[in-house]
């Protein structure tokens, strides 16, 4: 018995691990009447795997049996892997006992599609319901919505789960057609739109009646696989932007494609594109926290993110006319755009300069990376560099100059002689399907 | 649980590795207005004791050159030394009075500075209060250009991080009588700071978190959470008839530990291996009490899930 459950957990955790979402934040489910679990809105990473990713939730599939055959997915029908399935009771027992030992923040449940989308979704919902009503579990629940599941089941899911997500899977519909023939954007975007309106409706209701039921209080997210299809970074960022604006998503996750199959439809890559994934996340942060527009990060003339330098530095180098900015007088929004200045140091700068004019020493102590910032700021009217350098010189000085430390990722990816994945590009495959997303905007 | 008044949890300071002091004691040699001479102070090492010292400084018009727990103090050659007795009523007055000079959050930050166990914590707290009084109503907590303010802010960041780590890294084991117990050795004295989190979260199970370095713990008995000494901790575990050393684990406890280890092994993606990042997030000094970092009874066998791997 024990052996079997250990094996099941091994198989079904292994199959779920390529989903990049790990966050447990945004849930503010209070412990009521001495049940189990309480969340304050801030997620907790209880452990970290050896690849450095956070382990916050028990992330498993209910089953890896699947009737679909998506090329990039390890659980696809045609893949010869060991299959397993949990019972509803097993998932509940694991979740409760892991949570009681402070291993996890909660459950992230997804599943392969067996029989039919509704049949699968009904099982997932049943697990959530049992946890909430019978076990009085107030921990975090992230539920994957099965594409094609009925609206009634989605409605019920949102009442028990903190967060729902539908994966957009690939950055364009054409790629989806090529790699996941049973899926299409309409089936993905329809539930996304339904969730969005249900979340909004529940918020409105709760403003009128405090006791009205909450629907997915931590909102919805999605994920897409990067590097399994030929879209440019520009297309991906535009897509992300339209998802944030059009569907009110909390997060878009990017999962660098890890070769899980020898499928003919896929590029044969040696290494997952970790650096590209990292730069996409940086761009995502720029859009969500640094006031950048998608169009500022990349445009059709610059369709790819620079792997050597971060997107904020790249933007600053392309916009030298904006700089230098003076740290003692410039607006917060502008200080935030200086390479080497993060949100924390920007906040410290504008808070502290109310008391006294800031010096270089202060900036250093606030955590500003002067090695990068020095080319873009003045301090009490004084420049830090005696002369003005052109774009290429600044870039070179920052990358290779004194004290430059190229991140381990850059080194690993750029020093690898493995070339970028060669992708057989059918020209029509590249055209973006972005108009699709604009409609809800 | 009612929010603990810091003083009730204040504890003697055990000696931690020394960190360099950042505050300079006297600006340029001249004493600030309101002080006649410099002096050294000792106290019993409790937070109440420190608050009593602060009051004494202003009453005697003595600028503290050093404030240290008795025993840890080094006498100055020429300066006078005052041994200040702890007066709880006085301490409460000072604690209430601080609110006239700073917002509640800043005051809490001073208590957390105390929990940092840094050797210069007492002088930092004194300097901060002195600055706040001088500022005459202006909130100084964002004046990061000042060394004292910034150091207090940085200490609080460290404390916050350690508190957050403990909320993450506590690993409970279930005993036969249903007690969930865990051992920790945090860098700072953060037990008072994590009490609320665990009390709210694990409201339906008895639990005990024991700080092995500082030899005291938190015990929740389904009604309230108390600070317990080592002896009381042993009693709590023994309530069901077993003692800590002989605590018999719940029969399913080993299974869940193996399951957690199996889970931890299988969510790793070997192609993304990044041990440096792994260690930055989870420094080695915490591994001792982490179930998933214990040696495995059986060897890890990866799932063969690629059709280009031999064993399909």
Residue from A10, A84, A364 whose CB has the most chain B CBs within 10 Å, to mutate: A10
| Average pLDDT over all residues of chain B | 83
Strands A251-256 and A377-379: unpaired
- Predicted local confidence at residue B303, as pLDDT: 79
A215 Cα distance to chain centroid: 21
Distance from CA of B263 to the nearest CA of A (A): 6
Give me the residue spans of the domains in chain A.
2-224, 311-415
- Predicted local confidence at residue A252, as pLDDT: 94
Q: What is the pLDDT of residues B199-239, one digit of tens each?
A: 999 999 999 999 999 999 999 999 999 999 877 666 666 55
Give the residue, B138 or B258, on which the prediction is more confident. Answer: B258
Q: Do A352 and B142 touch (CB under 8 A)?
A: yes
Q: How confident is the model at residue B16 (pLDDT cuts 50, 70, 90)?
A: very low
Q: What is the third-level CATH fold of A2-224?
A: TIM Barrel (3.20.20)
- What residue in A sits closest to B182 (Cα-Cα)? A101
With beta carbons less than 8 A apart as the criterion, state whether A84 and A118 touch. no
pLDDT at B273 over 80: yes
Residue corresponding to tokens 């997210």: A221
Distance from CA of A164 to the nearest CA of B (A): 21
A259 contacts in chain B (CB < 8 Å): 271, 306
Provide mean pLDDT across the span A241-268. 86
With beta carbons less than 8 A apart as the criterion, state whether A144 and A110 touch. yes
Distance from CA of A241 to the nearest CA of B (A): 27
0.80 surpassed by pTM: yes
CA–CA separation, B178 vs B222, rounded Å?
Answer: 12
Q: What is the pLDDT of residues A107-159, one digit of tens each?
A: 999 999 988 999 999 999 999 999 999 999 999 999 999 988 999 999 999 99
Among A22-31, A279-288, B6-15, the minimum mean pLDDT is found in B6-15
Residue corresponding to tokens 């214990």: B294
- Predicted local confidence at residue A435, as pLDDT: 34
pLDDT at B186 over 50: yes
B251 touches chain A (CB under 8 A): no
Q: What is the pLDDT of residues B32-67, one digit of tens each?
A: 888 888 899 999 999 999 999 999 999 999 999 999
Q: How confident is the model at residue B129 (pLDDT cuts 50, 70, 90)?
A: very high
A11 touches chain B (CB under 8 A): yes
Residue from A5, A12, A14 whose CB has the most chain B CBs within 10 Å, to mutate: A14
Q: Which long-range contacts (CB under 8 A, 24 or more apart) does A304-310 make?
A: A304/A232, A304/A233, A304/A234, A305/A233, A305/A276, A305/A279, A305/A280, A306/A279, A307/A275, A307/A276, A307/A279, A307/A410, A307/A413, A307/A414, A308/A399, A308/A410, A308/A414, A309/A395, A309/A398, A309/A399, A310/A279, A310/A282, A310/A339
- Predicted local confidence at residue B159, as pLDDT: 95
Give the one of B169, B263, B276 whose C-beta lies nearest to A408's C-beta.
B276
Q: What is the pLDDT of residues A344-386, one digit of tens each?
A: 999 999 999 988 899 888 898 898 999 899 999 998 878 888 7
Among B174-188, B201-215, B219-233, B243-257, the minimum mean pLDDT is found in B243-257
A100 contacts in chain B (CB < 8 Å): 172, 174, 180, 202, 205
| Average pLDDT over all residues of chain A | 86
User: Rg of chain B's alpha carbons, rounded to an integer?
Assistant: 24
A22 touches chain B (CB under 8 A): no
- Chain B segment 265-304 residues within 8 A of A by beta carbon are 265-278, 280-282, 290-292, 302-304
Q: How confident is the model at residue A392 (pLDDT cuts 50, 70, 90)?
A: confident
Q: Do B267 and A13 touch (CB under 8 A)?
A: yes
- The count of other CB atoms within 10 Å of the CB of residue B99 is 11
- Predicted local confidence at residue A361, as pLDDT: 87
What percent of chain A has a predicted confidence (pLDDT) above 70? Answer: 90
pLDDT at A421 over 70: no
| Token pair in block for residue A167 | 């994966």
- Predicted local confidence at residue A379, as pLDDT: 87
Give the residue, A87 or A272, on which the prediction is more confident. Answer: A87
pLDDT at B1 over 80: no
CA–CA separation, B15 vs B35, rounded Å?
Answer: 30
Spell out the residues 6+ positions from residue A381 whose beta carbon is closer than 8 angstroms to its own. A326
pLDDT at B255 over 90: yes
What percent of chain B has a predicted confidence (pLDDT) above 90? Answer: 62
- Predicted local confidence at residue B44, as pLDDT: 94
What percent of chain B has a predicted confidence (pLDDT) above 70? Answer: 81
Cα angle, residue B64 at apex, residues B59 and B67 outer, rounded to 5°? 110
Highest mean pLDDT among A267-276, B154-163, B292-301: B154-163
A366 contacts in chain B (CB < 8 Å): 144
């Amino acid at each position: 018995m024990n052996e079997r459950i250990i094996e099941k957990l091994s198989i079904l955790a292994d199959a779920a691990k390529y989903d990049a979402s790990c966050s447990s934040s945004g849930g503010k489910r209070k412990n009521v009447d001495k049940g189990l679990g309480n969340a304050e809105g801030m997620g907790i990473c209880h452990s970290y795997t050896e690849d450095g990713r956070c382990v916050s939730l028990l992330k498993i599939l209910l089953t890896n049996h699947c009737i679909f055959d998506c090329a990039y997915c390890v659980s696809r029908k045609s893949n010869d892997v060991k299959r397993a399935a949990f019972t509803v009771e097993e998932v509940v027992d694991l979740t409760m006992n892991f949570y009681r030992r402070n291993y996890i923040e909660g459950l992230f449940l997804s599943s392969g599609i067996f029989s039919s989308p509704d049949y699968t979704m009904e099982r997932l919902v049943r697990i959530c319901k049992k946890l909430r009503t019978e076990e009085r579990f107030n921990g975090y629940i992230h539920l994957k919505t099965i594409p094609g599941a009925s609206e009634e089941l989605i409605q019920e899911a949102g009442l028990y789960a903190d967060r729902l997500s539908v994966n957009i899977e690939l950055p364009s519909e054409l790629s989806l057609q090529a790699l996941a023939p049973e899926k299409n954007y309409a089936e993905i975007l329809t539930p996304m739109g339904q969730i969005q309106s249900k979340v909004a409706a529940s918020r409105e209701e709760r403003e009128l009646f405090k006791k009205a039921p909450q629907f997915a209080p931590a909102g919805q997210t999605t994920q897409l696989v990067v590097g399994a299809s030929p879209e440019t970074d520009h297309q991906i960022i535009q897509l992300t932007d339209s998802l944030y604006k059009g569907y009110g998503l909390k997060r878009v996750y990017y999962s660098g494609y890890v070769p899980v199959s020898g499928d003919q439809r896929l590029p044969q890559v040696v290494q997952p594109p970790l650096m590209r994934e990292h730069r996409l996340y940086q761009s995502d942060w720029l859009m969500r926290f640094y006031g950048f527009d998608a169009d500022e990060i990349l445009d059709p003339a610059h369709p790819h993110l620079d792997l050597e330098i971060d997107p904020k530095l790249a933007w600053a180098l392309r916009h030298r006319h904006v700089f230098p900015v003076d740290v003692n007088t410039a607006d917060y929004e502008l200080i935030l755009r200086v390479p080497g200045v993060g949100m924390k140091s920007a906040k410290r700068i504008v808070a502290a300069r109310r008391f006294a004019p800031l010096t270089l020493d202060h900036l250093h102590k606030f955590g500003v990376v002067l090695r990068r910032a020095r080319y873009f700021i003045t301090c009490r009217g004084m420049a830090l560099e005696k002369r003005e350098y052109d774009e290429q010189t600044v870039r070179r000085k920052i990358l290779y100059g004194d004290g430059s430390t190229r991140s381990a990722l850059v080194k690993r990816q750029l020093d690898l002689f493995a070339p970028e994945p060669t992708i057989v590009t059918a020209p029509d495959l590249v055209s973006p399907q972005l108009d699709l997303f604009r409609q809800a905007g | 649980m009612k929010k603990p008044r810091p003083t009730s949890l204040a504890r003697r300071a055990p000696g931690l590795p020394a960190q360099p002091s950042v505050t300079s004691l006297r600006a340029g040699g001249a004493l600030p207005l309101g002080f006649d001479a410099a002096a050294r102070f000792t106290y019993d090492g409790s937070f109440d004791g420190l608050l009593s010292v602060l009051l004494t400084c202003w009453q005697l018009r003595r600028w503290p050159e050093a404030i240290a727990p008795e025993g840890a103090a080094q006498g100055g050659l020429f300066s006078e030394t005052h041994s200040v007795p702890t007066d709880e009523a006085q301490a409460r007055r000072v604690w209430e009075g601080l609110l006239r000079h700073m917002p509640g959050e800043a005051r809490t930050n001073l208590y957390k500075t105390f929990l940092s166990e840094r050797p210069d914590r007492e002088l930092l707290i004194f300097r901060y209060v002195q600055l706040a009084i001088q500022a005459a109503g202006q909130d100084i907590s964002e004046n990061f250009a000042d060394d004292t303010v910034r150091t207090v802010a940085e200490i609080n960041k460290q404390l916050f991080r350690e508190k957050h780590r403990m909320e993450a890294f506590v690993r409970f084991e279930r005993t036969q009588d249903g007690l969930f117990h865990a051992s920790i050795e945090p860098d700072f004295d953060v037990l008072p700071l994590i009490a609320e989190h665990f009390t709210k979260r694990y409201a339906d199970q008895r639990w005990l978190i024991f700080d092995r370095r500082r030899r005291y713990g938190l015990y929740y008995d389904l009604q309230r959470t108390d600070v317990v000494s080592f002896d009381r901790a042993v009693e709590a575990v023994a309530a069901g008839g077993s003692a800590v050393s002989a605590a018999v684990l719940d029969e399913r406890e080993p299974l869940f530990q193996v399951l957690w280890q199996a889970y931890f092994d299988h969510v790793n993606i070997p192609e993304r291996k990044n041990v440096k990042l792994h260690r930055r997030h989870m420094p080695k000094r915490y591994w001792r009490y982490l179930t998933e970092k214990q040696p495995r009874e059986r060897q890890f066998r990866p799932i063969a899930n690629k059709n280009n791997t031999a064993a399909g």
